[in-house]
Structure 1
Amino acid sequence: MKLVTYNIQYGIGRDGKFDLERIAASLDGADIITLQEVTRNLPHNGGVDLVAGLASLLPDYFYIFGPAMDVDFGTRDANGKPANQRLQFGNMVLSRWPIVASRNLLLPRTRRFNRLNLQRSALEALITAPSGPIRVYSVHLDHLNLEERATQIRYLKERVYAYAMEGGAASGVSEFGFPELPSPEEFVLLGDFNMDRTSPEYIVMAGEADYAEGRQIVAHHPVDAFSLAGGVPDGAVSWMDDDKPEKNRLIDFAFVHAALATRVKRTWIDDEAKGSDHLPVWLELD
């Protein structure tokens, strides 16, 4: 099973060009895809509906979209009637196998006055893969404030580990004649976490490393897939600024439930992709 996460930056690459086809091409071969910064009616890319565009370019996938930010600045048509062209910004999950249920988890945030602060979310997909049901999350955390990211991570972990108790998107559906949805313990968190591996909020996610024995694989912390299967090469990055290369960082990750750690076969970053200021991060599970 191959999974990939890609922050597509509204479809605009580091060259300033909008090209959805090259983004779709970078995802070739993936079984499950998680995307961030997927938009509808955004002026920066001509208002293109990226959800419809990606669905058209990737017709062999089931897909869901979860808008984190959803606003209408009062748009009206030529006759003065409501145009209902809502500006949406959020995450997407695509899968070769059915996505039987989903939830859009809105992450905690604070009101910011000096810089833009958009609502962020984690889009949950319950997927019936051939190896069994699995939960996959497309995650996008705040990009400016460590404290906010840490709060978002704590909330996300609470929801992810409380899945069986909460029942996911629905439970008790047998009342209406439907089969009960599976409730898998295993999950994968993929996305743009806007943190690096030395940051305090990374410890909130993955747990503290012992001074002598390092970080352990435990049931209550997700496991960074980069720490498994050979790790990631020194100097690897997933976000790039061609004008200020000193700012390039590794901020996109795949975290797996501890029970999946032995199934992580390899991880890699596609440094040939040009469709965004981020690079696709891949994860392969046995």
Structure 2
Amino acid sequence: MRKLLTALVVVLTVVPTVAAAQPDASRPVRPVTVMTYNIHHGVGIDGVLDLERIAQLIEQSGADVIGLQEVDRHWAARSNWEDQAAWFGNRLKLHVAFAANLDLPPVNPGEPRRQYGTLMLSKYPIKHFTNTLLPLYPTGEQRGLAVARVKVRGASLRFANTHLTSNNHAERLEQAQKVVELLGTSKTPTLLVGDLNAIPTAPEIKTLTAVLHDTWTEVGVGPGYTSGAADPTKRIDFQLHSAGLKPLQANVPVTPASDHLPVVASFELR
């Protein structure tokens, strides 16, 4: 695995068809709906590559801010060399920020670089977007923490999106510790979403929930299993939040569009 020295971030500005609501001084509490979804580069449990059904799922969820994992940009034939970040932005008319955790030269000179990572989509402008590479073991795959500031009807939301390693507990624990370090103790309401590849009782998740609240345990109903999609048995996809965000409800929509199920939650942002 090629070791990357820097994290590449691509921000694609797509103006929504409907303008974001203006701040209302008489209403200090702002509702916001959030989705996290590992999309498996658009390939569902039926083996079909279909970005449209994912786009429709996002629309149906009513999500204002979305964190996607396992997103391809000109990556390989498996996703028809599609720039999936641009595709979702154009299809949904949302603001887009892509973090390339893997960044390889093109197959042929002059073609776009091959990138793979995480994607943020938002009805509101994405500000101050960064991606920081997380600890990497010699046999691992590079992962990152993407962080953005989103202005939601006049209120600031810090939105973080990650995908922790799947095959090494020690590496994943170091990554979780780095996430806590990077997020720090900001007073800005913060949401961390992503495929964390560990169940709630794992030490790496406990590291995160020592400083952030687990939305599902607060307002979710049932086990909230997200993996695998055909017959889910584990909850490894999370929405974790800080003070300033009050969770109202959370659900796991059932869909064959990926090998994971998404998590959708609604909050009051203060």
Q: CA deviation at 1:249?
A: 1.4
Match of 2:50 in 1: 19
What is the 5 A alignment of 1:104-123?
Answer: 104-112=131-139, 117-123=140-146
CA distance in 2: counterparts of 1:269 and 1:75, whole angstroms: 38
1:87-140 per-residue CA deviation (whole Å, 9 max, x = no partner) reads: 21111111111112200121111111xxxx321112111001115011001111
Q: Percent identity?
A: 31
Task: Report matched runs for 1:46-85 at 5 Å.
Answer: 46-59=80-93, 61-72=94-105, 75-76=107-108, 82-85=109-112
Show structure 1 runs of 5+ residues with no match: 77-81, 165-183, 208-220
* 8 A Cα contact 1:241 1:277, kept in partner: yes
Q: Are 2:42 and 2:258, in contact at CA under 8 Å, matched by a contact in 1?
A: yes
**Aligned match for 2:129, one of 78, 97, 102:** 102
Task: State how far apart, in whole Å, the 2-side matches of 1:131 and 1:237 are.
Answer: 34
Counterpart Cα distance in 2 of 1:159 and 1:40: 26
Shift of 1:4: 0.4
2:251 to 265, 268, 271: 268
User: Is the CA contact 2:44–2:256 (under 8 Å) kept in the aligned structure 1?
Assistant: yes
**C-alpha separation between the residues in 1 aligned to 2:243 and 2:206?**
16
- Preserved CA contact (<8 Å) 2:38 2:70: yes
Instruction: Check whether the contact 2:67–2:193 (CA below 8 A) recurs between aligned residues.
Output: yes
Larger radius of gyration: 1
2:3 paired residue number: none
TM-score by length of 2: 0.82
Residue 277 of structure 1 aligns to which amino acid in structure 2?
Answer: D
How do residues 1-286 of structure 1 correspond to structure 2 at under 5 angstroms?
1-28=32-59, 29-41=62-74, 42-59=76-93, 61-72=94-105, 75-76=107-108, 82-112=109-139, 117-130=140-153, 132-161=155-184, 185-207=188-210, 221-229=211-219, 231-234=220-223, 236-240=224-228, 242=230, 245=231, 248-260=233-245, 263-271=246-254, 273-286=255-268
Does the 8 Å CA contact 1:75/1:83 hold for their aligned counterparts? no
Q: Do the aligned partners of residues 228 and 13 (structure 1) sit closer, same or farther apart at CA in structure 2, a change above 3 Å counting?
A: same
CA RMSD between the two structures: 1.6
The Cα offsets for residues 24-72 of structure 1, whole Å up to 9 and x where unpaired, read as: 011111111111111122222221111121112111x111111111012
How big is the shift at 1:241?
A: 5.9
**Aligned partners of 2:208, 2:65: CA distance in 1, in Å?**
22
Q: Which runs of 4+ in 1 moved over 4 A?
A: none
Distance (Å, rounded) in 2 between the aligned partners of 1:94 and 1:254: 16
- TM-score, length-scaled by structure 1: 0.78
**Larger fraction in strand:** 2
CA distance in 2, matches of 1:130, 1:55: 21
The alignment covers a number of residue pairs equal to 234
Instruction: Give the unaligned 5+ runs of structure 2.
Output: 1-31
Distance in 1 between residues matched to 2:63 and 2:243, nearest whole Å: 22
